[in-house]
Amino acid sequence: MAKQQPRSAKPARGGPVRPQPPARRAGEEPPAAPTGVPRPDPSRLVAEVELLRAELAVTRAQVKELEAKVESDPLLGIFNRRGFERELARSLAYVRRYGTPAALLYVDLDGFKAVNDRYGHAAGDALLRAVAAALQRNVRASDVLARLGGDEFALILWNLGEAEARAKAEALEAAVAAVGVPAGESVLSVGASVGVAPLGALDGPADALAHADQAMYARKAARRG
């Protein structure tokens, strides 16, 4: 019986004949890649990935540094209003979720404008630095201190009920009053009025600051008699 010859690929009607690749037997290696085509170097790929990771880490560090500059007061090195409002929003969310007691304190300096007008901005800046240092010394590392602008400061105090927060506010008023900055033959000083707003019943940063601001003005009026 005659052996049948393998059929060759028939061309499509009107088209060219395309050569068919030879069939591989079981266990046969695939044909080698054409010469002159470089194969990827695994060690080089790993080095490139590590380089990209290093560049990404540098970029993240730069972004973090820029964020810190944007959210800090250039004179005092503490949070500015923008940074404080972000911290306040986080604190309000934490209080609502876990029920941890916390309070917002709004601090307004009494008599600072007169110091600035009489002794100049350099003396005023020195007094602001001394006041900020006094406030920082009298709170914990977990508390948040910020300068909202001008002679206004704010604090977030953790794990304090309303009565404890009011007692702390009075202690901070005394700490500010004890600050003295030499200026020639004079010693510069200011007073402080501190308003307290517990965070548990407040809706958001704007609401919290408004309540603390109102409490501060009520405290200022009471101090004046």
Beta bridge partners of 72: 79
Q: Any catalytic annotation for residue 117?
A: no
Selection from 193, 171, 167, 163 nearest residue 101 by Cα? 163
Count the Cβ atoms, other than its own, within 10 Å of residue 133.
14
Nearest CA among 143, 144, 35 for reference residue 79: 144
CB distance 220 to 111 below 8 Å: no
Q: How many CA within 13 A on the CB side of residue 39?
A: 6
Catalytic residue among 73, 108, 143, 151: 151
CA pair distance 98, 86, nearest whole angstrom: 19
CA-nearest of 188, 202, 50 to 130 is: 188
E strands, the chain, in order: 102-110, 144-149, 152-158, 181-183, 186-188, 191-198
* CB contact set of 181 (below 8 Å; sequence gap of 6+): 123, 126, 127, 130, 187, 188, 189
User: In angstroms, rounded to a whole number, what is the distance separating the alpha carbons of residues 209 and 88?
Assistant: 9
Q: Which residues form the catalytic set?
A: 151
